[in-house]
Amino acid sequence: MNKSSLLFLTVFLSTFLFAQKKESNSDVFQIVNPDYKRSPYTGMTKQHWRDAAQYLLEGAFTYIHSLDDPMKFPKQEGKSYPVNESQIPTEKLEGLCRTLFIAAPLLKENPDLVINNIKVADYYRHQIAELTNPSCPSYIEPRPKNGGPNQKLVEFGALAVSMIINPEVLWKPLPQNQKDALAKIMLSYGDGPTVDSNWKFFNVFVLSFFKGQGYVVNEKLLVEYLEKSLKHYRGNGWYNDSPAYDYYSMWAFQMYGMIWSEYFGKKHYPEIAARFEQNFSDLKYSYPNLFSKNGEMIMWGRSISYRTGAIVPFPLMGFQNDPNTNYGWMRRISSGVIKQFLTHPDFMEDRVPTLGFYGAFEPAVQIYSCRGSVYWMGKAFLGLLVPDNNPFWNAKENNGNWDTQFKKGEVYNHYQGDSQILITNYPDSGASEVRAWCHEKVKSDWQKFRSTENYNKLSYNSAFPWQADGENGEVAMNYVVKNKDNKWEAFRLYTFKKFEDDIYYRNVVLETDENIKFNLADIPLANGILRVDKNNSDKSISMRLGHYALPVLDKEIVVTKKKIKNYEVTIIDNGKYQLAMIPILGWEKSEVVHAQGLHPESNKSSVIDVTATTNPEKGVSNIYATLMLWKKSGEKWKSKELIPVKTIKPTNNGVTIQFNNGKAKQVDFD
């Protein structure tokens, strides 16, 4: 063998062995022995859910070598806390109470669980007791007499949830003096002020747990917070989270209501429990449509790093054992979301889930989060409380409405009534989309999340995670306007107007200049959106409208431009999806904008924009119409798909649209 051949063989073997080593040390969750008979789409059964829960818990326990080690994890660079020493006890409390969401149901089935040579039950009992020990670094002081609600209330509420579902392991073995000390501290927070949102449940669970254990609690306040929580209900399964609508408006309220009813309310307050259960029954008709055909969740709203937490209402449906529930679809969605994240290579870093969507993504992080906050996602595994013989675990997986109701070539809108949410399903791509509340000013948004891209996009789609806005006017699925400071400013102050003839109407004004204002109309199509927007501004403005963005994946994004019927068509293709944008009325030009560091799936991304500079004095039409379309990569576009509009004619207060398929729409901004 010559030297070059020997060198080649050496390099090859080294590379092969490195690849094998890398694969064997992979942090990605593996589904062992999938069951494709019961679960033809995901292969996951209840045992795989247990495996997924233990996989997450094992990652956390790599930081635990003795009973005294706190659940404290490497800080992710950026705005997350702690930023000073005083926040470290709360950080430890979060890690403890949130990983317990995963441990508590596992310990209910296996109280002798051992991870990293640590008896898990002993660890949590020891750490819970240390919360009451003034000489311990993990000690949490009682709420001061005039103290307000804070993160400690949140975590004690979380601890109460775990104790209420598994008192046999987490509470009963504690000596009485520790129980009393814990009750004193936790009740000081539970019997106190709260935030007018889902936070009321943290007080509710603390008060309920200790009442159930025979302690004297403020029952008047408990009932008050329960009644106020019920007043957040807006129908179709949705609660309002004061003022936002997001995943919390469904999964948090519904999960808390069902767990509270099942483990406490039915016995002590049956009439209130029945109301929570009735509201819970409504969600099966709407919430499943918010997930893609493949069981993927949309990147939307705050605390998106909690990811799998959004699925917990689906397994909890098993408690109702309702024959009208398609349990095979509910499990297909739920297991799909677990796979969406736990099998993604960027999900874990240092054996702990990142703060982000897939990998770490700073624009989606809130200042109230620390690294351990991500284990709020562990609430998904409260579903393990549902018995093994329940139909949620045993029904055959299916695609529900995607197979039984939705037809290719059509689009399906589900307007949610009083919540003013619109959910749209696209059978051609299998994607789901949502439009919902956003009306928060940056100047009054002290936590800097309700005015941001977490909420201010025109829509959110399961296939296209949102791209953050850039300082140079990079924008996706929103408008940006040059403001009086010559900076690009995104729309965020939306006011819903109506949903009529499958058209979703909103008005919007620019935060820094109320004289820059638009009427907006979204018309979902089979393979995208037709936007028809009216500019009512009284001054000249420079503006951009962006499509969804595509991340750079395995290859560079390919850009194609063509002319069809005098319309300029721009298409970008990243090997997974294609996006097409076609200005129909008003716009001056299209451009492809490349960005770095703004997309949750890749450091590099691209988006198609349309741009214009308006001048109201010239009497030019103030209607701007745009086609924003998509397809999977490799599928060919037909001309009639790219240009589905036959004619579009302005009227006194809108437009009349004739489509090539013979259908017509009247956009009326009145």
pLDDT at 1: 46
- Cα 594 from Cα 477, distance rounded (Å): 15
Tokens of 308: 């799998």
CB 607 within 8 A of CB 593: yes
pLDDT at 448: 85
pLDDT at 4: 42
Q: What is the pLDDT of residues 205-214, one digit of tens each?
A: 999 999 999 9
Mean pLDDT lowest among 12-21, 489-498, 509-518: 12-21
Q: What is the pLDDT of residues 60-77, one digit of tens each?
A: 999 999 999 999 999 999
Hey, what's the torsion of the CAs at 544, 412, 332, 278, to 10 degrees? 110
Confidence category of residue 445, pLDDT binned at 50, 70, 90? confident
pLDDT at 616: 77
Does 48 score more than 50 pLDDT? yes
Q: Give the residue-averaged pLDDT of 72-85.
A: 95
Closest C-alpha to 371, from 153, 101, 92: 92
Confidence category of residue 7, pLDDT binned at 50, 70, 90? very low
pLDDT at 619: 55
CB 601 within 8 A of CB 565: no
Q: Give the residue-averaged pLDDT of 455-474.
A: 97
Using only the alpha carbons of the chain, give its radius of gyration: 26
Does 2 score more than 80 pLDDT? no
Chain position carrying tokens 């029904």: 395
Chain position carrying tokens 């002290």: 446
Q: From residue 322, how far is each of 46, 85, 280, 381, 531 by CA, in Å?
A: 19, 50, 12, 21, 40
Helix-strand-coil split of the chain, %, nearest 5: 35, 25, 40
Q: What CATH architecture applies to the domain 46-231+246-403?
A: Alpha/alpha barrel (1.50)
Q: From residue 537, how far is each of 481, 491, 506, 624 by CA, in Å?
A: 11, 14, 15, 13
Q: Give the residue-averaged pLDDT of 389-401.
A: 98
Confidence category of residue 15, pLDDT binned at 50, 70, 90? very low
Which CATH number applies to 412-668? Answer: 2.70.98
- Cα 281 from Cα 91, distance rounded (Å): 36
Burial class, 465, CB count within 10 angstroms (exposed 0-12 / middle 13-18 / buried 19+): buried
In the chain, residues under CATH classification 1.50.10 are: 46-231+246-403
- Cα 307 from Cα 643, distance rounded (Å): 37
- Residues 6 or more apart whose Cβ sits within 8 Å of residue 319: 258, 262, 386
Q: Give the residue-averaged pLDDT of 382-405.
A: 98
Burial class, 282, CB count within 10 angstroms (exposed 0-12 / middle 13-18 / buried 19+): middle
pLDDT at 652: 86
Tokens of 222: 């408990």
**H/E run at residue 479:** strand 478-482
pTM recorded for the entire structure? 0.94
Cβ neighbours around 74 below 10 Å, total: 11
Q: What string of DSSP letters covers 26-55?
A: --S----S--TTT-TTT---HHHHHHHHHH
pLDDT at 278: 98
- Cα 231 from Cα 209, distance rounded (Å): 23
Q: From residue 55, how far is each of 51, 62, 420 by CA, in Å?
A: 6, 11, 39
In the chain, residues under CATH classification 2.70.98 are: 412-668
pLDDT at 26: 55
Q: Give the residue-averaged pLDDT of 121-146.
A: 96
Confidence category of residue 440, pLDDT binned at 50, 70, 90? very high
- Cα 293 from Cα 366, distance rounded (Å): 29
